[in-house]
Amino acid sequence: MIIAVDGPTASGKGTIAKALAAHFGLPHLDTGLLYRAVGLQCARNGGNPDDPADALAACDFPDHLIADPELRSEATGGLASRVSVHPEVRAALYELQRAFATQPGGAVLDGRDIGTVIAPEAEVKLFVTASVPARAERRYDEMRAAGRLADRAQIEADLAARDQRDSARATAPLLQAADATLLDTSLLGREEAIARAITLAEMLSGS
């Protein structure tokens, strides 16, 4: 069984995808980390994330970069959004994601184009979203808990800008697949969102 979990940044899709993977005993891939790795590698190369050639060159990042804590920073998230607009980058990472999705037994993948591009045949497709203020509040709390300086207004502005960039890009834009089920987590706590997602996944898969 393939489970596709799509949605914007800080909507809760990663937490939900991990919980679904644990519940169904499936491997999980956070595809956003791949784009974050490309963005971070591009910066470390001294490249311009808005330049297709520089971004493509950064797709050749070392495996250990996936475990780098810097991938989780707001700055790297912005870089990921910028390199992800390039068709060349998306094509370079497509096969890796596709192979993970179609492995024997299935998998859970979360990202922005899993249900529309990477695994359109997924048995379960969830589009997880939340209002920008709700997502900004969560990210603010995460950053404060990690001991990092945070400005709630700036986080909200950054999220809105990234939503616009991700939704407006010509290649594989962020959008809800026609056959995906919407899950709005704006007013849901972590455990409530997970429980709701598991219920939906079981219903959609016939489990």
48-60 pLDDT, tens digit each: 999 999 999 999 9
CATH, range 2-205: 3.40.50.300
**Which residue, 94, 82, 89, 109, is CA-closest to 166?**
82
pTM of the model: 0.85
pLDDT at 196: 98
Band (pLDDT 50/70/90 cuts) for residue 168 is: confident
pLDDT at 173: 81
Is the pLDDT at 109 greater than 80? The verdict is: yes
Is the pLDDT at 172 greater than 80? The verdict is: no
For the chain, the average pLDDT equals 93
**Which residue, 95, 29, 94, 84, is CA-closest to 58?**
84
Is the pLDDT at 169 greater than 80? The verdict is: no
**Residue 96 · residue 31 · CB < 8 Å:** no
Band (pLDDT 50/70/90 cuts) for residue 178 is: very high
**Residue 29 · residue 5 · CB < 8 Å:** no
Domain boundaries, the chain: 2-205
d(CA 61, CA 92): 12
What is the token pair recorded at 173? Answer: 């834009």
Band (pLDDT 50/70/90 cuts) for residue 29 is: very high
